Structures are given as C-alpha cells and as structure tokens.
Structure 1
Amino acid sequence: MYAIFQNGGKQYRVSIGTVVRLEKIDLPVGEMFKCNQVMMIAHTGGVQFGRPFLMSCNILGEVVRHGRFSKIMIIKFRRRKHFRKFQGHRQFFTDVKINTISVT
C-alpha cells in the first residue's frame, strides 16, 4: 500500500514506515503530522485517484527531526565589469515518519 500526497507545492510517494523529508513544518519533534491532501492511494482494493484530492483519506506521521540542507552557493559574475557577487543558502527541512495511511 502506498499513497501520493502534496505538501509545500511538491508531491511525495510514501508507504507505511518510510521517512520522508518535507519542507519545514512548524511542529515540535514527536508531534503528529496530518496531511489530508492525498492525491492517489494504491491498496489491495485497487487504485483511487482524486480530483485533485481524495476527501476521505488521511496520512498520519510523526515528526522525527528538523535540520538544514547543505549550503548551495549562488554566484553572479560579469566578465570585464569588475562585478562579482557571492551568496549562500541553506534550506530548512523536517523529517516525518509515516505511521498510517487511512482510507474510509
């Protein structure tokens, strides 16, 4: 059994027990995460698709940890103009362990 859900403008394929890395969620570690924007569920009864979401499905998970990705460098350079600009960015993330995928 697996499901595809949407969070933060991105889509994720998850099954029970997997740890998925989402964009930052303002929940403390150990708190339950609930997502009702389920787009598709594949289970023993078949496959269900939403238009765009399934109204009777939820995904429950537990927040495992928070962190930041490694730094990416943004470099702007114009040759022969004496222009150089460096900027770094580290994106925040939240790891969520999927506990249940409920279909009603």
Structure 2
Amino acid sequence: MDMTTASALRRLRLVSAPEAVSWLLLIVCIVLKNTTSFNAVPVMGWVHGISFILYVVFLADAWNRTKWPLKRAALYFVLSLLPTGGFFADRMLRREAEASVIAARARKEGVVNA
C-alpha cells in the first residue's frame, strides 16, 4: 500500500468514529427536543451533517485509491447510515490497514513474492 492510499484510509478512519458519535448525539437531542424544552437539534444537525459529508467524501477517495469492489464501498456507506455503524467501520478499516502493513513488510523482507 502506498502512502496516498494509507492516508486515504487514515482519513476515513479518523472521521468514522466522530460521525457515529454525532449521529448518537443527534438522536439524544431529538429525544430531548420532544420531551423537554431543550432544543439543540439545529446545532447538532449541522455538526452531524458536516461529519457525514466528510465521511462520504473520504469514503469516495478511499474507494478510488484502494480499488475496493462495489460491495465493500457500499458496506462502508451503509455503516455510515446506522447510528453505531461508524464504530464498526473504524474497526474494519483498522484491521485492513494492519493487514496491509504486515503484507508490505513481508514483501519488503522477501517472504512473499508479489
């Protein structure tokens, strides 16, 4: 994996967990709006909207650089639509990055001829 691909995956990982947190906080704000007079939905809606847009942009960049099949990119997109899906996406991306580092080290040491 080259540096641009690794940085694209890193950016996607960095935005996936905050996107999930903003989704959960938005749900809490909606519940509070409907049960109390506290209304933070407009602010939290903006925060979540911006984090979602960043997630989709970084997903498109990572998909372009890693040449994932459509199914994998669609899985990451669907995970962004679920309230805790960003945490699962982060875990999957971390495992993928670790596996690619191990493979790159093996190629460098001549263990695998690729």
Q: What TM-score do the two structures reach when normalised by structure 2?
A: 0.21
The structure in which a higher percent of residues are strand is: 1
The structure in which a higher percent of residues are helix is: 2
Q: What TM-score do the two structures reach when normalised by structure 1?
A: 0.22
- Higher Rg of the two aligned structures: 1
